[in-house]
Amino acid sequence: MSFQSLNKIIESRYLRRENLIVNMQSLETKNINCSSCQGKCCTMMANSMMMTPIETMDLYKYLKDEGLWTNELIDKLTSCIKDFRLAEQLDLGRGRVFRRTYTCPFYLNQFPGCPLPRSVKPYGCLAFNPGQGTPSDGEGCHSELALLEKREDLVESEEDLNQLLKERMNLTWEKLPIPVALLEMDKVWEQLEDTQLP
């Protein structure tokens, strides 16, 4: 697989999120949405979102392509890592790590709270929805785990692709907090462009 083929996989980022996005749209038609909420789920009050290599690549490539990967953003990511001690991984054993809470560096503290398009958001963000109505303070919101599991079943090859990315890019992580994952991807992105994947 060449870098060009990998670009085609990146372009399929919507398809890998489709069931989560369709669910959000369905909830919105029932007036179940985040339009009245300040986005507590994006703050250190509730956010511990982590991303896999392919989720990170989707977001990183979007930021690069849109001219949003700037020194200002890199500084913001670095500050977030420092402020919330995200570089310190606490191993809980059996491949699990302690998930630190942090305020997402993309959080705007206004509506809409997140400027990122749904096609590049982490899967966990897309699956975290209100249970009913339009909450104002995150009440009744929950992660729809069944939808995440269904997404994994629909995209069986993704685990193989994550493993391939880890091997070819010498990544040692399964999932990392958003700012850490993005900076790690930035360190190795040029290697990927020069690598011919089988």
Distance of CA 50 to the CA centre of its chain: 6
In the prediction, which pLDDT does 133 show? 66
Taking residues 43-70, what's their average pLDDT?
94
Of 9, 74, 54, nearest to 166 by C-alpha is: 54
97 or 184, which is more confident: 184
Cβ–Cβ < 8 Å for 56, 62: no
Q: How confident is the model at residue 69 (pLDDT cuts 50, 70, 90)?
A: very high
In the prediction, which pLDDT does 197 show? 47
- Three-state DSSP at 21 gives helix
Total H helices, total E strands in the chain: 8, 6
Q: How confident is the model at residue 151 (pLDDT cuts 50, 70, 90)?
A: confident
Name the average pLDDT for the chain.
84
pLDDT at 147 exceeding the cut of 90: no
Domain span at residue 129 reads 3-194
Q: How confident is the model at residue 192 (pLDDT cuts 50, 70, 90)?
A: low
Nearby residues of 148 by Cβ (< 8 Å), 6 or more positions away: 20, 123, 124, 127
Reading phi first (left if > 0) and then psi (alpha if -120 to 50, else beta), residue 189 is in alpha
Give the count of domains, the chain: 1
Taking residues 9-22, what's their average pLDDT?
85
H/E stretch holding 12 reads none
Which runs of E-coded beta strand occur in the chain? 50-51, 91-93, 96-97, 128-130, 141-143, 176-177
Q: How confident is the model at residue 1 (pLDDT cuts 50, 70, 90)?
A: very low
Residue 142 bridge partners (DSSP): 129
CA atoms within 13 A on the CB side of 129: 24
- Three-state DSSP at 97 gives strand
Distance of CA 58 to the CA centre of its chain: 9
Cβ–Cβ < 8 Å for 40, 46: yes
Residue type, 121: K
